[in-house]
């Protein structure tokens, strides 16, 4: 158990570490996941007994790489920004290629899921001990 101020410090540092892990190692597309990460202090009387972290539900698909029903329309912008810059085709042919890539990629994600990116577990295992030490715990 810790006091409220220490709880807030740990919560803020943990949220920042999660956001940093996402941005540095996975890149940032819309920022929706990063901006959704929040903490909540859980109390027993006046003492903080736990810190809950919440974020967008799709974080579990990223964390574990589990299959995620995805449509080509949901990832078309990502394909255009991340894959298509290296493709030297313009106009309607470029759009057609992007749509084809998005369709194939969406089918793969729906069936198999993305590659796991365990940013939550890595942050807890690698960063939380340092956060706790920084507040004297």
pLDDT tens track for 87-125: 666 778 888 888 999 999 899 888 887 788 899 999 999
CA distance 59 to 120: 9
Q: What is the pLDDT of residues 30-48, one digit of tens each?
A: 688 899 999 999 999 889 9
Give residue 131's pLDDT band: very low, low, confident or very high (50, 70, 90): very high
Enter the pTM of the model. Answer: 0.72
pLDDT at 4 over 90: yes
Residues 54 and 81 in one domain: no
Give residue 76's pLDDT band: very low, low, confident or very high (50, 70, 90): confident
Residue partners of 97: CB distance under 8 A and separation at least 6: 84, 87, 89
The predicted pLDDT at position 29 comes to: 59
Residues 57 and 29 in one domain: yes
Residues 47 and 16 in one domain: yes
Residues 56 and 43 in one domain: yes
Residues 96 and 39 in one domain: no
CA distance 125 to 21: 12
Give residue 60's pLDDT band: very low, low, confident or very high (50, 70, 90): confident
Residues 41 and 12 in one domain: yes
Residues 82 and 47 in one domain: no
For the chain, give the percent of residues with pLDDT over 70. 93
Q: The domain containing residue 49 runs over which residues?
A: 1-66+115-137
């Amino acid at each position: 158990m810790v006091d409220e101020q220490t709880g807030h410090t740990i919560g803020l540092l943990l949220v920042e570490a999660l956001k940093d892990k996402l941005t540095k190692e996975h890149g940032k597309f819309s920022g929706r996941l990063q901006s959704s990460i929040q903490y909540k202090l859980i109390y027993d009387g006046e003492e903080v007994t736990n810190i809950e972290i919440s974020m967008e539900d799709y974080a579990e698909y990223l964390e574990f790489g589990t299959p995620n029903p995805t449509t080509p329309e949901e990832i078309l912008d990502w394909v255009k920004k991340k894959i298509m810059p290296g493709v030297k085709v313009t106009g309607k042919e470029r759009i057609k290629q992007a749509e084809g890539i998005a369709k194939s990629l969406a089918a793969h994600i729906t069936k198999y899921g993305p590659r796991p990116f365990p940013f939550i577990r890595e942050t807890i295992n690698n960063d939380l001990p340092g956060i706790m030490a920084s507040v004297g715990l």
